[in-house]
Amino acid sequence: MNKIRTAAAAAALVAGFAVLAPAAADATTSPLTFGIYPGGYAGGGSTTGKPDNPAQIRKALAQLQSGRQPFLLRDYLGCGTAFPDDEMRYLAPGRRLDVVLGYSGESMPEWQTCVENTVHRYGPVADTISVTLEQNVVPKPNGDTALVQGVIAGKKTADRDGFHRLQIGFDEVAYTKPFTQFWQHLAELGGTEFSRSVGFVGIDLYPDAGLPGIPPQSDLAGFVHQTLHNVRTQEMPIAGLGRDIPIRVSENGWATHTAERAPADQARALTTEILAINQDRVTENVASYEMFDLRDDVTGSASPFDNFGLMTDDYAPKPMYWLHRGLISALGRS
């Protein structure tokens, strides 16, 4: 009964929130495509978390997706490594992959071959492939060059293979302050060929997420609005990327790792952020939103990286799970 009451209350709240999101009522533009990283592990957290439960993941994805509407599954891969979290096993009608290919210091020929192989394998079932990850704040030696060359190689391969739906891009951690020097370096390295190859810019949003080094934000909606606007107007033009190139919110999360960061607070914070993103989807050309992540890796751990989930580590829903399901139904593509 508690579960039913929680779901009903969430549905009622979402119905009210939808009224407050003017972009949701604009039938002339495309609604957001929603998605999620369906795992629990996050870099920086524990290495002994509970293993994924495929049956529970399939059940949760079916509930969140709300039928056959488009839905993205985020997956993190590397070159030359067999990763056990290949999300292809969770594909179903309407679901497509958002693949992140990490760079680990390979030579440029090795890296370009890795990118090409990734496009060959995932191109038929992926909407996006992001090369490198958060290079602007977690830089790897030669990583900017890998980002530029990876985008160019991925675009060439996608065109050659006929994957015209597939977009090749990259993700950055985004703040309200533009990363001008990072973007200038990408522009210098890539020039016009890079600009013509980028299919999207992914941003990872973690205001007030509880992460070390990121100060808490009292105005979450304001943070989202300013960050999206700065990416669109202060960063992307540096590399010659116009308004036709979409922004994708590739990661957004809020950790519940202390007594002061309760699941109810997670629900309030993430709902505020999602509604702000939805309000900006037209003006800033935001194509998609992905939650990080489905479940905790180690519920009760002192690490924020272990507690981003919409569910606990045994797949018990937190309040935001039901709210997110309602938001997807109310605001997402059908």
User: Quick check: 38 and 293 in contact, CB under 8 A?
Assistant: yes
pTM tops 0.85:
yes
Supply the pLDDT for residue 84: 54
User: Quick check: 318 and 64 in contact, CB under 8 A?
Assistant: no
Supply the pLDDT for residue 256: 97
Supply the pLDDT for residue 46: 82
Supply the pLDDT for residue 217: 87
What does the alpha-carbon distance between residue 31 and residue 332 come to, in Å, rounded to a whole number?
Answer: 6
What does the alpha-carbon distance between residue 92 and residue 105 come to, in Å, rounded to a whole number?
Answer: 34
What does the alpha-carbon distance between residue 190 and residue 101 come to, in Å, rounded to a whole number?
Answer: 19
Residue 159 exposed, middle or buried by CB count within 10 Å (0-12, 13-18, 19+): middle
Write down the residue that tokens 């293979």 correspond to: 161
**DSSP state letter for 334:** -
Closest alpha carbon to 239 in 184, 169, 176, 179:
184
Collect the ranges in the chain with pLDDT lower than 70.
1-29, 81-85, 334
The C-alpha angle with vertex 31 and arms to 25 and 35, in degrees rounded to 5, equals 135
User: Quick check: 308 and 253 in contact, CB under 8 A?
Assistant: yes
**DSSP state letter for 93:** T
| 199-257 pLDDT, tens digit each | 999 999 999 888 887 778 889 999 999 999 999 999 999 999 999 999 999 999 999 99
| 263-279 pLDDT, tens digit each | 999 999 999 999 999 99
Domains of the chain are 2-331 (3.20.20.80)
Supply the pLDDT for residue 216: 81
Q: How many CA atoms lie within 13 A of 63 on its CB side?
A: 19
What does the alpha-carbon distance between residue 44 and residue 46 come to, in Å, rounded to a whole number?
Answer: 7
**DSSP state letter for 52:** P
Supply the pLDDT for residue 43: 85
Supply the pLDDT for residue 68: 83
Supply the pLDDT for residue 334: 64
